[in-house]
Amino acid sequence: MPQRDGALPPEFWTRPATAAALATCDIATIVEDIRRTRGWSQGELAKAVGYSQSWVSRVVNGQQSLTIDQVRDLAGRLGIPLHLLRFGGAAEPAKGADPTRRREFGKAVTVSALALPLTSAQRRGDTAAADSEIHEQTAVTLRAITGGQRRLDASSPARDLARGAVAHVELAGRTLKRAQGTPFAADVAAAASEAAGFAAWLHADMGDAGSARAFYRASVDRARRAGQRLLDVYMLGSLAAFEIDADDPALGLSLAHEAGRRLSPGAHPTATAWLACVRALGHAGMGAGDEADQEIALAEQAVNRSDNAEPPWPWVFAFDHAKVAGYRALAAVRLHRPHQARAAFAEAFTGTRPGPKQSAILQVELAKAHADAGDGDEALRLAADALAVGVRLQSERVVDRVRGFRRAYRVRGPGADRLDDQLTAALTGGLPAVL
């Protein structure tokens, strides 16, 4: 029931979506959650905060930038606990300071929100008291922070998130140590696994393969400590996919088979289909077309099952025909079947579009299919568009994929010259040096 007046219930602030918004200082989401919980119209919300309805509309739609003073003002009027936003005690730039410095301060606030502060018991080394602070919301909070980071990844350079993500992995590891012997240890281990898996993803995008492998190994270890079979399979399968993408399909396939052995016979069809698709890429990378086709057929059978509806955690979306088509397309590119690849890409893009970085990766693969089919102009256009995304989001992985495309397809002409110029700019000035 809507609660139009009075203080919001304490459990409101620990809801996963709200906790994630608090962790990333996502004021738009927090304000809209409060409006819906109160049952207010947007006009009533505007009256409550003392701003115009048009200004409030821009805020909740993410179109209005807020100063720190405005955030504090909204928090006071709506009863948002400032300590949950984790910037109440930060050294704010002086009023009238350069706007660029204010933006940088805003970034610092977001990064600092990605790690939980030490409690007073931890600071004074009171282990028993610290252990008692592990409770049913500990894992929820850790997962909410990882979720907030994942949402930022869709539109932020990985290197902007990496430091906060690594700090969160370390925090999750310390929390896991304190959780041992409590009833919440398994849930905390699962949350720590997710944090490490996301850090691995970021480092892969940054082109830091060594760190990515280390974080993937940590994610697998923590998943096993959680005793959650599907999470174990997901993280091991993610490491397998990483190795296949890193041009070691034999190792990736071996890891994918190990993940399959850990999958129970009655596993959810989403898990079965996804893992079959990962194996298909491994076979395709080794030139084994028949084996790749068999795995894709197995995935299609799984997604056709009537119980392939709600996805099992840690999958967010059910694995459907469009996703299988995407893997069929990727396998066809590796097997140099351009016409099959282009048809499969067309089917895959009818589903939910992935984030910009992943879309750019797929564009490079589609470019390879067009090049194999003799359509060089379209191939170069797709590669150039993908490179622009890679430069904008500082994705070493995307840029490296475009470089690999250009090495494999040494065509000549105006389009090729433009792509070469873009690559030169990206490698000399478009991307910062790897830290």
Same domain as 274, residue 325: yes
Would 104 be classed as within a structural domain?
no
Residues 6+ apart with CB under 8 A from 247: 285
Same domain as 332, residue 362: no
Indicate which CATH number applies to the domain containing 38.
Answer: 1.10.260.40
Same domain as 400, residue 370: yes
Of 91-100, 178-187, 194-203, 260-269, the one with minimum mean pLDDT is 91-100
H-type helices in 180-320, by residue range? 185-205, 209-226, 229-245, 249-262, 269-285, 289-303
Same domain as 372, residue 334: no
CA 405 from chain centre, in angstroms, equals 25
Question: Tell me, what DSSP letter sits at residue 11?
Answer: G
Same domain as 384, residue 347: no
Would 389 be classed as within a structural domain?
yes
The verdict on pTM exceeding 0.75 is no
Would 290 be classed as within a structural domain?
yes
Would 275 be classed as within a structural domain?
yes
N-term to C-term CA, the chain: 50
Rounded CA separation 112/320 (Å): 37
CA 344 from chain centre, in angstroms, equals 25
Same domain as 429, residue 387: yes
- Closest Cα partner for 166 from 191, 204, 200? 200
The domain boundary, picked from 352, 368, 386, lies at 352
Would 363 be classed as within a structural domain?
yes
Of 58-67, 179-188, 214-223, 229-238, the one with minimum mean pLDDT is 58-67
Residues 253-288, buried b or exposed e (16+ Cβ, 10 A)? bebbeebbeebeeebbbbbbbbbbbbbbbbbbbbeb
**Contact indicator for 37, 17 with CB cutoff of 8 Å:** no
108-128 pLDDT tens trace: 334 333 334 444 444 444 444
Distance (Å) of CA 413 to CA 338, 387, 421: 22, 18, 12
pLDDT at 351: 66
293-335 pLDDT tens trace: 999 999 999 999 988 888 888 887 778 898 999 999 999 999 9
Question: Residues 182-194: what's their mean pLDDT?
Answer: 94
Q: Which residue in this structure is represented by tokens 């069929």?
A: 328
Same domain as 261, residue 207: no
Rounded CA separation 204/50 (Å): 46
Would 49 be classed as within a structural domain?
yes
Same domain as 345, residue 425: no
One-letter amino acid at 126 equals D
Would 367 be classed as within a structural domain?
yes
Distance (Å) of CA 177 to CA 132, 171, 182, 192, 237: 13, 10, 10, 11, 26
Would 204 be classed as within a structural domain?
yes
Rounded CA separation 410/387 (Å): 17
Rounded CA separation 107/87 (Å): 11
Which structural domain range is residue 373 located in?
A: 354-434
CA 393 from chain centre, in angstroms, equals 14
**Domain total in the chain:** 4
Same domain as 348, residue 253: yes
Same domain as 408, residue 329: no
Same domain as 328, residue 262: yes
pLDDT at 76: 85
The domain boundary, picked from 20, 49, 84, lies at 84
CB atoms within 10 A of CB 424: 11
Structure tokens, 262: 């850990």
